[in-house]
Amino acid sequence: MFTMRENHQRFLDSLKYQFLCCYPLHCIDWEAIPDNLTWEQQQQLVENTVLYALNQKYPVKISYQLNFLKRLLQHLERRYDEVHDSVYECYCAVQQRIAQDTTEKYAYKHYFQPALKVELTLRESKSFVAEGTTGLCSWQASIALADYLVENTHIVKEKCVLELGAGTGLCGMILVRCCGVRHILLTDGSRECVDLMKENVCRNFTEANETSDGLFVVNQSTLSLNKLEWGAIEDMKWPDSFAADVILAADVVYDDTVFESLTHAIDYVFKIRKDKCEMLLAATVRNEHTLQTFLNSLSQLHFRYVERDVIPLDKCNFYWDRTTPVKIFNITR
Ligand SMILES: C[S@@+](CC[C@H](N)C(=O)[O-])C[C@H]1O[C@@H](n2cnc3c(N)ncnc32)[C@H](O)[C@@H]1O
């Protein structure tokens, strides 16, 4: 049993982590705002979110901050006779920054899980598509995959892990922080994604030693970054002594025009490993037919796939949008 004070702290912490990663507003449980907040505790709601030091230094999207405050005000006004001035002041201050922010193409997101020592700050595109790629922002499938792997660390622990279409590199960075991977190679076909990954790796792993271009040693793990276009995987220059035990991919099954090159890349890695590897694929199911077409093309190449359970909301380590279902498959041959 938790005391009232502890319950309040737990609520504040979860609201803070949800705000910092821009958890969609419709996913936040606003009804969980306690009815008995003191005056000071109302103030803590903004001190731990919009006014939080990390958000001041590396701000999340301003429009998200404004809409967050709007929803917070609605809920507080409904339940309390008086709402703390700091919430209104904060709302006005953020509103003034909206106009100047419209020209900004990037904002920050922060992925926190203190129990796992994960505190990652990523600069990400504010648009889903930018610079001709969808990979400059993190998608829910990559967080769902990381969530699954931190609960099943044996899959990646002390292994060589290759991620295809890694985008911002969020999933891989979480694995480096808390899954004891031996070597993780994060790849993407977009040069902009690889450059952004490098920037984000440098910001978050200040203890890392960059031994050669795009290859970082972080404690016991190696993290490397490479441009890899699936259709040209034969030209890939693999890092020394890297042989993939596990292939990861998140949210890469949405466009059937790339299925041929994607299955080619998967087939290629399995072949060079003589099928002594496995793959974890996290797919956001926007269209069942598209996903099934992809799975059928894997079957034609003699792969087997088994669906695994995603981590349920009440046991999750990271917040991710569940509005559209995410499925995780284990693929072997
Ligand atoms: C929807 S994003 C997912 C990014 C990341 N995995 C995530 O879930 O946040 C798809 C990614 O696949 C990459 N991609 C698409 N086609 C590719 C190809 N032919 N070769 C390599 N990467 C590709 C894109 O650049 C993009 O980063």
Please report the pLDDT score of residue 56 as a whole number.
97
Please report the pLDDT score of residue 167 as a whole number.
98
Spell out the residues 6+ positions from residue 76 whose beta carbon is closer than 8 angstroms to its own: 33, 42, 45, 83, 87
Whole-angstrom Cα distance, residue 150 to residue 115?
12
Please report the pLDDT score of residue 5 as a whole number.
80
Please report the pLDDT score of residue 8 as a whole number.
86
What would the two tokens of residue 136 be? Answer: 């400059």
User: Which amino acid makes up residue 186?
Assistant: L
Q: Is the CB of 166 inside a 6 Å radius of any atom of ligand 1?
A: yes
What's the average model confidence in pLDDT over 59-75?
A: 97
Q: Is the CB of 259 inside a 6 Å radius of any atom of ligand 1?
A: no
Please report the pLDDT score of residue 101 as a whole number.
78
Please report the pLDDT score of residue 113 as a whole number.
95
SS (H, E, C) 63-76: HHHHHHHHHHHHHH
Spell out the residues 6+ positions from residue 108 whose beta carbon is closer than 8 angstroms to its own: 58, 59, 60, 121, 122, 123, 124
What is the chain's mean pLDDT, rounded? 95
Output the pTM of the full model. 0.96
Residue 131 has pLDDT above 90, yes or no: no
What's the average model confidence in pLDDT over 237-253?
A: 97
How distant, in Å, are the alpha carbons of 62, 97, 122, 173 from that of 205? 26, 30, 12, 9
Most distant CA pair in the chain, distance: 68
Residue 99 has pLDDT above 90, yes or no: no
Name the least confident of 35-39, 47-51, 215-219, 327-331. 35-39
Which one of 129, 134, 225, 327 would you pick to mutate in the ligand 1 pocket, going by the greatest count of ligand atoms within 8 A of its CB? 134
Percent of the chain with pLDDT over 70: 100
Strands 215-218 and 221-227: antiparallel
Please report the pLDDT score of residue 66 as a whole number.
97
CB neighbours (10 Å) of residue 261? 15
Whole-angstrom Cα distance, residue 293 to residue 316?
30
Q: What is the pLDDT of residues 247-306, one digit of tens each?
A: 999 999 999 999 999 999 999 999 999 999 999 999 999 999 999 999 999 999 999 999
Q: Is the CB of 261 inside a 6 Å radius of any atom of ligand 1?
A: yes
Q: What is the pLDDT of residues 167-220, one digit of tens each?
A: 999 999 999 999 999 999 999 999 999 999 999 999 999 999 999 889 999 999
Q: Is the CB of 251 inside a 6 Å radius of any atom of ligand 1?
A: yes
